Amino acid sequence: MGSKVTWLIVLAFAAFIGFVVWSAQTGGQTHCQVCMTFGGLKNCAAAAGPTIEEAERAARTAACATISNGVTESIQCEHEAPTTRSCSNR
C-alpha cells in the first residue's frame, strides 16, 4: 500500500512539473520585433511579454540600448516611434 502512495505522489509531482514547464513555454506570450532609428543609427530587437504593450516596450528598450548613449538618450530613443513593428501571439 505504501509503495502505491509513493508512486502516486511521484507521478503527481512529475505531472505538476511538466505542466509548469509547458505553461511557461506556451503561456500566451506576445512576441514583438521592432526597429528603432535614433541619432542616425538603426537597430532591431525582439522581446516577449504578457501583452503587446509590454513586449513592444521591452523590444524598444533592447533596440535603443546599442544606439543611444546614456540614460537621457535611451529615454529619448524609447519614446520615438519604431521604424518597423511586428507583433504576434504565440
Q: Is residue 61 assigned to a domain?
A: yes
Angle at 78 between CA 74 and CA 76, to 5 degrees: 55
Structural domain includes residue 7: no
48 within 8 A of 86, measured Cβ to Cβ: no
In order along its 90 residues, the chain shows pLDDT tens digits of 678 777 766 565 565 565 555 555 556 689 999 999 999 999 999 999 999 999 999 999 999 999 999 999 999 999 999 999 999 987
Range of the domain at 82: 30-89
Cα–chain center distance at 83: 20
The answer as to whether 10 is a domain residue is no
How many angstroms separate the CA atoms of 15 and 2, rounded? 20
Q: How many domains does the chain have?
A: 1
Neighbours of 3 (CB within 10 A): 7
Residue 13 covered by a domain? no
State the pLDDT at residue 11. 61
Q: 3-class DSSP state for residue 23?
A: helix
| Domain contains 72 | yes
- Whether 4 is in a domain gets the answer no
Confirm whether 19 is domain-assigned.
no
